[in-house]
Amino acid sequence: MTHTPSPDPSAPLRDQLAYVPEHHLPAVVSQVVGHSLPPAEVQAAGALVDHAITVAWANRLPGHYRLDLGQYRHLIRHFHYAELFHAAIHQHGDLRNVAALAALASTCVLNSSDLHH
């Protein structure tokens, strides 16, 4: 399941960000408003994050093979979504930067204490 933004640029910001985990919403809204992002850039940043998580999962280390894509996506989105979205907006949501954002996502997982029980 992808979690990309609403493609309708006339939709209210809340609807455009419906894919953002609730607890990350204040930080993401602050980033969108602070950078005066147009709807197309919000959509592009969200798509970049989504694709980067998938690439990070595909390239995950053997120690993380036990996580399926859904679990991996949930972990990153729950704990690191705002951080990844921030990086994605600085890359202008450009999918050519998916590898760099995937590397950041992988680093987030490696540093996640949630995996080290």
Least confident interval from 3-12, 28-37, 96-105: 3-12
CB under 8 Å to 96, separation ≥6 — which residues? none
Query: Residue 61 above 50 pLDDT?
Result: yes
Contact in structure between 106 and 57 (CB atoms under 8 Å): no
Model confidence, pTM: 0.85
The pair of three-digit structure tokens given for residue 53, joined into one six-digit string: 């998580």
Radius of gyration in angstroms for the set of CA atoms belonging to the chain, rounded to a whole number: 14
Q: What is the pLDDT of residues 71-100, one digit of tens each?
A: 999 999 999 999 999 999 999 999 999 999
